[in-house]
């Protein structure tokens, strides 16, 4: 029985307890993902000693299972453009056409680049749909999944 299900607590106390449990589970999941990332990098370094293995804005992706796989080369061009956008606010001029004052802030550009780099590997480049491709259709992905990526 969770604290949030206790009948003696008020609704506000139940909500507070639930939020506390949720935040703790999300924090544990984030730590688990950071550890998995480090484990994958260590395995790659052990496999190829002396090589620099980066995941960042490269056409590589770590699956939830911990497998490091290469994305198609088209994504390398797109992810390189996202990385260039951090230093060059005019890299994507369409973002400034609608009074994009936030694009002048480097912190904002860094966040935009990270979000684009996270979403683009899950995007159908022709149709523009976001999700994981199956033979029949695209399965949608959750907000938590995007946060973990």
- Among 41-50, 79-88, 140-149, whose mean pLDDT is lowest? 140-149
Residue 84: inside a domain: yes
Q: What are the residues whose beta carbons fall under 8 Å from the beta carbon of 63, sequence distance 6 or more? A: 69
Q: How many CA atoms lie within 13 A of 87 on its CB side?
A: 4
> Which of 58, 111, 60 lies closest to 80, judged by CA?
58
DSSP per-residue letters across 82-143:
HHHHHH-TTSSGGGTTTT-GGGGSHHHHHHHHHHHHHHGGGB-TTT--BSEE-SS-EEP--H
Clarify whether residues 49 and 81 are in a common domain. Answer: no
With 60 as the cut, is the pLDDT of residue 30 above it?
yes
- pTM for the whole thing? 0.59
Q: Are β-strands 60-62 and 68-70 bridged in parallel, bridged antiparallel, or unpaired?
A: antiparallel
pLDDT in tens, 66-110: 777 777 788 888 888 888 888 888 888 887 777 677 788 889 888
Report residue 99: phi and psi, to 5°: 55, 55
Clarify whether residues 47 and 119 are in a common domain. Answer: no
Clarify whether residues 37 and 3 are in a common domain. Answer: yes
Residue 63: inside a domain: no
| Mean pLDDT value across the chain | 77
Query: How far is the C-alpha of 45 from the C-alpha of 52, rounded, in Å?
Result: 8
pLDDT of residue 20: 93
**Residue, of 115 and 100, whose pLDDT is higher:** 115
- Among 3-12, 67-76, 132-141, whose mean pLDDT is lowest? 132-141
Clarify whether residues 88 and 141 are in a common domain. Answer: yes
Residue 42: inside a domain: yes
Give the confidence band of 1 by pLDDT, cuts at 50, 70, 90. Answer: very low
Tokens of 42: 């260590």
**Residue, of 14 and 66, whose pLDDT is higher:** 14
**Residue, of 54 and 3, whose pLDDT is higher:** 54
DSSP label at residue 67:
-
Clarify whether residues 34 and 82 are in a common domain. Answer: no
Number of domains in the chain: 2
Clarify whether residues 93 and 132 are in a common domain. Answer: yes
Residue 64: inside a domain: no
Structural domain of 26: 1-53
With 50 as the cut, is the pLDDT of residue 4 above it?
no
Report residue 110: phi and psi, to 5°: -65, -45
């Amino acid at each position: 029985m969770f604290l949030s299900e206790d009948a003696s607590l008020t609704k506000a106390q139940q909500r507070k307890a639930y939020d506390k449990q949720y935040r703790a589970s999300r924090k544990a999941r984030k730590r688990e993902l950071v550890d998995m990332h480090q484990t994958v990098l260590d395995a790659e370094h052990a496999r190829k000693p002396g090589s620099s293995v980066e995941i960042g804005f490269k056409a590589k992706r770590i699956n939830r299972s911990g497998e490091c796989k290469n994305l198609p080369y088209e994504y390398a061009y797109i992810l390189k453009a996202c990385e260039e956008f951090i230093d060059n606010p005019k890299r994507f001029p369409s973002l400034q056409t609608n009074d994009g004052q936030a694009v002048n802030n480097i912190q904002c550009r860094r966040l935009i680049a990270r979000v684009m780099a996270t979403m683009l590997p899950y995007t159908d480049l022709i149709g523009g749909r976001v999700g994981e491709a199956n033979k029949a259709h695209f399965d949608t992905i959750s907000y938590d999944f995007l946060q973990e990526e």
